[in-house]
Amino acid sequence: MGYTGRCSCGAVELRIDAEPIAVRQCWCRRCQKIAAGGPTNNAIFRTADIIIDGPTASHDYVADSGNTLTRTHCPACGTPILGGSSARPQMRVVRLGVLDQGHELKPTMAIWTSEAPGWAVLDPAIEQFPAQPPAPPAPQS
C-alpha cells in the first residue's frame, strides 16, 4: 500500500510507496501562515520514498533552531506540498491536504501548541508539545 496525491490545480502529483514515520500537527506561527490560521498537518516520510511529478517552487527560511527550513509548493496554485529541514535531509514532511482521499493518516502529536491561537481546539487524546519535540527515530537505512 502507499499514497498518492496532487495539488489543487493538478500540476503537481506525488506518490509514496511507504508508510510514514510519524504524523504531526504543527501550530507554529510559520505554519499558521501557510495553513490559513490553523495548524499544518504533516506526515513524515523518508525523502527517498517520495516521488514528485511536476513543477514545484520553494521558499527557505532560518528557524529559531538555526536550521534552514524549506517549504515546497505548487507555483501555479500555491498548494503546500512538503517541507524539510537542513538538519534532517533524509526526511520530509508531506502536507496531509495534498494526499488523495482514502488514506487513514491522522496526527498523533500536536507541536508548538504554545503558539496556537486561543480558539484552537487541541485533541486531548494526542501527545502535545509546547515547542519543538525530539526528532522522531531515524528511519532504517
Residues that bind Zn ion (CB under 5 A): 7, 9, 11, 26, 28, 31, 74, 76-77
Please, what is the minimum distance in Å from the beta carbon of residue 17 to Zn ion? Answer: 22
Looking at the Cβ atoms of 23 and 28, the one nearer to Zn ion is 28
Among 42, 35, 29, which residue's Cα sits nearest to residue 110?
Answer: 42
Looking at the Cβ atoms of 48 and 135, the one nearer to Zn ion is 135
Please, what is the minimum distance in Å from the beta carbon of residue 125 to Zn ion? Answer: 21
Looking at the Cβ atoms of 29 and 106, the one nearer to Zn ion is 29
Question: What one-letter code names the amino acid at 69?
Answer: L
Please, what is the minimum distance in Å from the beta carbon of residue 9 to Zn ion? Answer: 3
Q: Return the HEC string of 62-113.
A: ECCCCCEEEEEECCCCCCEEEEEECCCCCEEEEEHHHECCCCCCCCCEEECH
